[in-house]
Structure formats: C-alpha cells, structure tokens
Amino acid sequence: MRTYEIRTTGRRRPILLVLGIALVVLLLFARTIASYVIEYQWWREMGQVPTWLDMLLYTLGPRAIGIVLAFLILFTAHALALKFAGVGLGRYKVYARLSSLALLLVSTVLALASIDPWTVTRFFGARNLPAESARWADPVFGNPLRFYLFDLPFWSLLLGYVLALTIVAALVYMVAARGWQLRDRLSEIRDGAIDFELFDLRGGLASRFLRFTAAAALIALALQFFLGRYNLLFNDHRFMVGVDYVDETIRLPLQWIAIGSSILAAVFVMFGRWKWVLIVPAVLIIRAVVPAAVTAAYVRPNEISIEKPYIERHIEATRAAFGLDRRAKDVDSEAKLESRFDPAQHKALLSNVRLWDWRAFHDTVTQIQALRPYYTFSDSDVDRYTVNGELRQTLLSPRELDMRQLPESARARWINPHFIYTHGYGLVMAEANQITANGLPVLVVQDAPARVNAPGLKLTRPEIYYGEVVHEPVFVHTAQPEFNYPSGSDNVFAKYEGHGGFPVSSFGMRLAAALDRMDFNILLTGYLTPESRMMIRRDVRERLTTLAGFVSWDPDPYLVLTDAGRLMWTVDGYTTSNAHPYSRTVQAAGIGSANYMRNAVKATVDAYDGTVRIYIFDPSDPIISAYQSLFPKLFSPASEMPADLREHARYPEAIFRVQAEVYRMYHMLDPQAFYNNEDMWDVARMFRGQGERPEPMSPTYIVAALPGETEPEFLLTIPFTPRNKDNLIGLMVARCDGEHLGEIIIYELSKQALIYGPMQIEARINQDQVIAKDLSLWNQQGSQVLRGQMLVLPIVDTFIYVQPIYIQASEARMPQLKKIALAMGNQLVYTDTWDQAVAALASAMGTMTVAAPQATPEAKPGQAPPAGPPAAIVPATPPDVQQRLDSIRDHLKRYRDFASQGRWAEAGKELEAVEREAQR
C-alpha cells in the first residue's frame, strides 16, 4: 500500500510541475494573448481577417526562415570546430545545450538585424506586375523601374545577410576550435609563464571549413560589388543625381576590376593562399583615388560640356519620378498686365472667390458654433458642393468632442469618457464667398440639432464616432444612454444604431479587453449588455495606418457630406520610395523624404460606423500594384467609389507642394541653363500678418473655368516668381473633377512682360494711404488685423489678386471680414463688400483707384448683406504727393519711437520735419 502511494506521488509531481509552468507562462503572456484576441476582433470588424493573417505571415515568415537557416549554419560551424579540436559534444551535455541556446540567440539577432520582411514581401509581390511598370528604364543598364524598386533592395538584403552569416560562422568556428584547443593545453602553462605560440591561429586557418567560409565571403563581396554598380545611379554630384562622366568611364570599369579581384582572391583562399586577399583592399584604394584625380584634373575645368548628357538624364528622371512627365503639360501664356472683363461672363469664378481664409474661418466658427467648451473644430477644409443648382466653393469644419476640455471632475469619472461622451456631432459649412453685414460667414449647415439652410443638402447622420479628435475605447449599445448634443440648459441623449465596433459582452472578451487596456473596470462594469460593442482605433489616420501601414497617409483628412446625408472622411494615400535612379530627393511635409511619389490611393472612412474602403486611383504605380497582388481583398478599383464621394475627390496639397518644389527647378530642360540655375523659380511669397516676415504661399483651391474652357471646375493652384524677384512668372494648376483628376497645367508667362506678383500687390496695399491708415487704426491695443492668403486668379488674359482683411479682438479670436482688397495690374480696389469690389474694378480700367465706400446696411443673421452703394472712383494720388505722404509717415514713426524712449529733442526735430512737409 505504501509502495502504491509513493508511485502516485511520483507521477503527480511532473504533472503539477507542467501545470505550474503553464500557469506562469499564461500569466506572463496573458496580455499578449489578450492583445491578439482584440486584434482578431478588430480585423474581423474590418472584414479583413485574411489580410491580417497575410500580414503576420509576411512579417514573421522571412525572419523565421532567416533564423532557422542561420542556426543550422552556425550549429554546423560549431560542430565542425569541435571536431577539428578533437572534442565530442556527447561528453559535455550541459555545454551542448547552452551553446545551442547561445547560437539560437545569435541567429535571432543576426536575422532581425539584417532582414527587412517587407523588402522580401515586396519582391515576391512584384513578380507579376503589369507592363506599364516597365515603361521607364534607366539609360545606363536598361533595367525597368521595378528592378530598382523591388529586385535591387531584395538582392542587396540577401547578400548582406549571407555576408554577415559567413563572417559570424567563421568567428564561431575559430572561437570554438581554438577555445577547446587552448583548454586542452592549459596544463602546459607553468609558474605563470605563457607561451604565446599557444594562440597561433595558423592551424585554424588551415581548416577546410574556414577556407570555404572565407571564399564564400569573398564571393558574396564580389556580388556586392556587382550590385554596387547600380548604386552609382544614386550618386549625388551636387548639381545632379545619377551616373556622371567619371562614374561611367572610370568607376564602372574599376568596379569590374574589384569584382574580378574578389573572385580571384576567393580561388586562392580555397587553396590556402591567404596573402592574395590583400589584392581586394589594394583595388579599393585605387577605386577611391583615381576617380577623384580624374574629376579634379579633367572634368571640373570642362564640367558643363562633359556632363551635359548626364544632366539631361537627371532632369528627365526627376520629372518622371514625381509624375511631371505624364499628365502634366506646359502652356505658354500671353497674359497681359491688365485687361477689361465682363463680370457676368465670369460669374463662376467671381461668385466662388474664397473670401474666407480657412484659418480665419476656423477661428470664427470656433467662437460662434462650438456650443460647449468640450466641442472643438480641429480643422477646416475647402470643398465644392452643388447649392441651388450651382457649383459653389465651401468651407467645412467637423464639430468633434475633446474630452480634455471637460472639467477634471467629469474626466475623473470612468463612465464619462467610455459610455457617455462617445462622439462628436455635426459640422459647420459655409459658402466661401458669402459674408454677413457683420463680417461673419453665411452658414449653410450649422447648430445642433443640425440645421441645413441650402436646398439639395441634407444631414441625416450627424454623429461623429470616428474622426481626428478622439479618445478610446468607447462602448456603445450599452445600458447607459450616450450624450448626443446640448439643448439649452439640458442635454439630448441617444443610443448608437450602427454596426461599428466589435462584440464585447461575453466574459472572455471583457477579460481580454481589460487585459489589453490594463483597465479592469471593463470587467467589473454593469453597463455592458449582450448587444454591447467596443470601438477602438477611432482616429481616422490610425485606422488606415493599421490597415495599410505601407501607404503614407495624408496628414489632413477631410470630411464629405454625401447625398444620403452621411459624413464620410476622405484621406489621400501616397506610395513613396528613395529608389528611383537619377532622381532628386525631396522632403514632403508630414510624409518624409522621397525621390519617387504617387497619389496612388484614396480611402474613405464612415464617421458613424468606421467602415473603410481603399480605392486605387493610379493602377500604373508599380508599388501599389505589388501590394494589391499581396492583399487583393484590401483594395478596390477607383470605379467602385460611389458617385457622390467621387464628386468630392480632389488633387491633394501634399503631393502638389512636392511637384511645385520640383517644377520650380526642373522646368529648365536645357542642361546649361539647369547647370547655371539661369531660370530658377520660387513659390510666390506673401505676408501672413502685420509685421511678420514673408513666407511661401500655400496651394489654393478655387472654382474657375480654365482659359479656353467654359465649364467651371475645382482647381488647385500655386503661383511662381523668378528667384529673388517678386513678379509673377508662372501658375501651376491641378484639375480635380471627373476624368481630369490629376491633370496638371503650368502656365508660363512671358519673361519680356511684367506681371505683378503677390508680394508686389502686398506692397501696393501697404503703401496705399487709405489702407495704411485703416490698418494702423485697427492694430491699436485690443484689436489685431489679419490678412488672408492672397489669391491669384486667372481671368480673361490676365490675373486678379484678392486679399481679404479681417479684424479680431486680442482676447477673443473671432475674425470678422472688414475689407476686401482687389487688384488687377495697376488698379487697386479697396471696399467693404465683394460685389462693390468687382463692380469698381470692372469700371476703373484707366489710371483711377477706388476709394472705400460707406458701410453697407445690416443684414439678418445667417444672410448675405444687401448690396451697398457703388464704390466712388477718384483720381489716383499724384506721385509727388504720395512721396510727401510717405515722408510724413516716416517722420511720424520716428517721432513715436523717440518719444517712447524719452528722447524728446530728437522727437521735436521729427515734428518740425512733419510741419515742413505739410507746408510744401
């Protein structure tokens, strides 16, 4: 009986030990397991579980293969080393286990450090790309673009891995072999005397394995030199990128010599002739010295004539890399300084001029439409909608909920951010051209509950659960009603009716959510019901980055009101690379540096239920084509985008800025002009505010008809000036509507005719005595003048310039439109309303300027003001009188400066100077 009990206890001990270990492992990895459970549920909500599994496979697979292969080779090297030393692993079991564990650790570190899984994945995803991806080929080796985007990075990575593995294998072999040899000979050391011959490695170098490993490393080095030929296509020579004269005639032949020397050294090493390895560094020294000498002695004195064909390649490749060779065309414009125009014929342009700068609009609606302190308008976007049957330019701001603005006591209650304050509500929309008599925007959509003031628009689902300002997680379909919007002194509550989020009601899911978020209130709360759902990744960009992190997403999502009255976020996505041969690298704000860029996709995110769709808008882009072959369920063709969303697709500012930055230099197609920067352009500059330094203008969306066209369309524009000058030299326009989306037209102005640029119009506004007096008066203590972005608009065969001027209190940032400055050529109009400005400019086509009219009558809130009296036309100020007025202003300014410093004697002299000027 006693024997039976002892046997049972012996069997139980291993079982208890295993259970104990399993429990410890479960506790240690509980949060990781819970995170994978939540991840699975989220990807299931997205309907993209196959995509998630593919991503895990593509991420873990290449590194796992690399680890296994490295371990096998290192284990073999270690076993051969012990055999060389005459040691059998069977005699040292503890050492065998520890050494295997160490080799596995080294293999893991080596694989993680040298293998980028996405480089491997893209290589295999690009095997069946369409023929369009091979359209561009480099002029030196004749390889298509896809070779540099996918093949070259993969082969370079593979060779780097092999080279690192051979070096580590050789080190493992040498350390193990000599280590065990020394261990056996330590008894030969007597009385502290050390015979250094004990550390002689010649025996190790004679090893067949070590010779083979060294030869393999030299062959890998030869292959690296072979691939290094292609790296010459990315050399930066200051004035150009790519292969130049010295690269093609000197470095390429020397590269072949380096390849041959590595192969020759590998052959000799296999026969134990180690000294032949020295020819490799000798060739490398020659390769470093000779090209520099040829450049200094021959190329530099004759650079432009020698490098001309290589500069042409650089210009062509850079334009191709940023899409300026495809749907972009240059148009020579015979624009004149000024021209007569009929406002009735240009109603589409003049009735859509954006009088509200988006910054001023944002600050104003924050004051008049926030409703509660915890509502925020994170951004304002420009779009177009059909209002009363006409295409109208609009500004739109979503009203989102910012939990950080709630009182501390409300935020401290766990139920508030997770169950009650779950979403924003509605939006504010205004026509860009309409202003009330009080200088405020005329709102088309406003308030809560949402009020729509324009026929043809409706808002049926105003709740914003997914947006730009969010907190998480939130729980919906719970026993606790959610705050919807304020109504007077009360609040209106509602329950979620969509399918966003994933089920979280079961004990297992609540436990997983609690572990994942490290918040055990989720497990303990009594508000969850069988229908409850948990929402995570509510930030629009985070949602898209998780789904498709290989796409660079635009930092500025914009909201669209659909025909059905739902709110949908639209986000542009870009594919970028630094692997386009001959192309210049450009910094893209919010995206990073790249020498290749495409607006390949556009994504939509439903603001109510979080549904995501990603549409491919550039199927010719090889990068997005490779990812589409890897994740076919993730993408849809552009033709499947709903028509009401397609109407609001636009050409994004981010890539347009990059293309403008490239074009301002790469419009020079002549190599000599390019080399000497003879016709360098700059993006036109303007002043943002009083006393600020000028800065480059931002791209501007407008609604206008292009020269030669009759139908108005949504356009994105940016003006150019010559380097270090302020006159207008060009206008870049990107089309946004229909089949023309993505087309770029660059209107190049004559260099013989002067067309004013924005800074020159700014200077005329600053020098006008009426305007200067108003600006000085309004910029007194307690108020501040804001100047909107200068708009440069093509009309007939000239340009008009529009600058709205706002005034706001220093304490409360609520800009009100005060005046409008409108200019064409030598004409400058300064009025209260836009209609007055247009009428005055159309009539004042001589040497006349327009004086400011009287204020217009008040209008009812939310309505445009009635037409005021026409602007009075008076003769222009004579030049000599203008000079005296400028002198008086200068003396008065110096008087104020001296008086503020207590220098009364100098101040008195300035007053005397003012009197003399006034008496002239």
Query: What span, in angstroms and rounded, lies between the C-alpha atoms of 761 and 136?
Result: 43
d(CA 278, CA 170): 18
Beta strands in 388-536 (DSSP E): 390-398, 400-401, 424-425, 427-435, 441-446, 451-452, 463-464, 474-476, 482-487, 490-494, 502-503, 533-535
Between 83 and 891, where is the model more confident?
83
d(CA 720, CA 472) in angstroms, rounded, equals: 45
For residue 532, name the pLDDT band (cuts at 50, 70, 90). Answer: very high
Contacts of 137-146 with C-beta under 8 Å, sequence gap 24+, read 138/233, 138/317, 138/581, 138/582, 139/313, 140/232, 140/233, 140/243, 140/248, 141/229, 141/230, 141/233, 143/230, 145/580, 145/622, 146/622
Evaluated on CA atoms 357, 358, 363, 365, the torsion sign reads positive
pLDDT value at 183 more than 50: yes
Gap between the Cα atoms of 874 and 248, Å rounded: 69
Integer Cα distance of 746 and 681 in angstroms:
13
* CA torsion angle 123 125 127 131 (round to 10): -110
Q: For residue 558, what is the enclosing H or E element?
A: strand 558-561
Which region among 37-51, 223-237, 258-272, 670-684 has the lowest average model confidence (pLDDT)? Answer: 258-272
Higher pLDDT, 917 or 464: 464
pLDDT class for 858, splitting at 50, 70, 90? very low
Strands 730-735 and 848-850: unpaired
In contact, 674 and 747? CB cutoff 8 Å: no
User: Going by C-beta distance under 8 Å and a sequence separation of 6 or more, which residues neighbour residue 887?
Assistant: 917
pLDDT value of residue 842:
87
Q: Which two tokens stand for residue 853?
A: 């009219």
- Regarding predicted confidence, which is higher, 15 or 490? 490
Confidence label for 136 from pLDDT (cuts 50, 70 and 90): confident
**Strand-pair category, 695-696 with 685-686:** antiparallel
Say if residue 449 is preceded by a cis peptide, omega within 30 of 0: yes
Q: What is the DSSP letter of 583?
A: P
pLDDT above 80 for 892: no
Least confident range of 23-32, 262-271, 646-655, 904-913: 904-913
pLDDT value, residue 717:
95
Cα gap 581→592, rounded to integer Å: 18
Q: What is the pTM of this model?
A: 0.85
Token reading at 435: 């202003």
Q: Residue 318's closest CA among 242, 204, 420? A: 242
Lowest mean pLDDT among 114-128, 522-536, 661-675, 885-899: 885-899
Main-chain phi, psi angles of 619, to 5 degrees? -65, -15
What would the pLDDT profile of 694-738 be if each residue is shown by its tens digit? Answer: 888 999 999 988 888 888 899 999 999 999 899 999 999 999 999
State how far the Cα of 616 lies from the Cα of 563, in Å rounded to an integer: 23
User: Could you give the CA distance from residue 528 to residue 166 in angstroms, rounded to a whole number?
Assistant: 58
Cβ-contact 615, 601 below 8 angstroms: yes
Condensed to tens digits (0 to 9), the pLDDT of residues 823-838 reads 998 899 999 989 899 9
Nearest 5°: the CA angle 390, 394, 400 is 140
The dihedrals phi and psi of 786, each to the nearest 5 degrees, come to -115, 135
pLDDT value of position 194: 53
pLDDT at 857: 38
What would the mean pLDDT of 226-252 be, rounded to a whole number?
93
- Contact criterion met (CB below 8 Å) for 784 and 363: no
CA distance 148 to 738: 33
- Cβ neighbours around 899 below 10 Å, total: 15
What mean pLDDT comes out for the span 793-803?
Answer: 90
CA 780 vs CA 690, 695, 784: distances in Å? 12, 25, 7
Residue 859 has pLDDT above 50, yes or no: no
Locate 268 and state its tokens.
Answer: 């000799």
Q: What CA–CA distance (Å, rounded) separates 99 from 78?
A: 9
**Residue (of 521, 522, 527) closest to 480 by Cα position:** 527
Q: Is residue 846 scored above 80 in pLDDT?
A: no
What's the pLDDT at 11? 55
Average confidence (pLDDT) over 289-307: 91
Q: Positive or negative, the Cα torsion across 548, 551, 557, 562? A: negative
Which residues are CB-contacts of 748 (< 8 A; sequence separation ≥ 6)? 330, 331, 332, 333, 667, 729, 730
In the predicted model, is pLDDT for residue 754 greater than 70? Answer: yes
pLDDT digits (tens, 9 = 90+) for 394-426: 999 999 999 988 888 888 899 999 999 999 999
Report the distance separating Cα 423 and Cα 493, nearest Å.
Answer: 11
- What's residue 35's pLDDT? 93
- Whether the per-residue pLDDT at 206 is higher than 90: the answer is no
Start-end of H helices in 719-768: 758-767
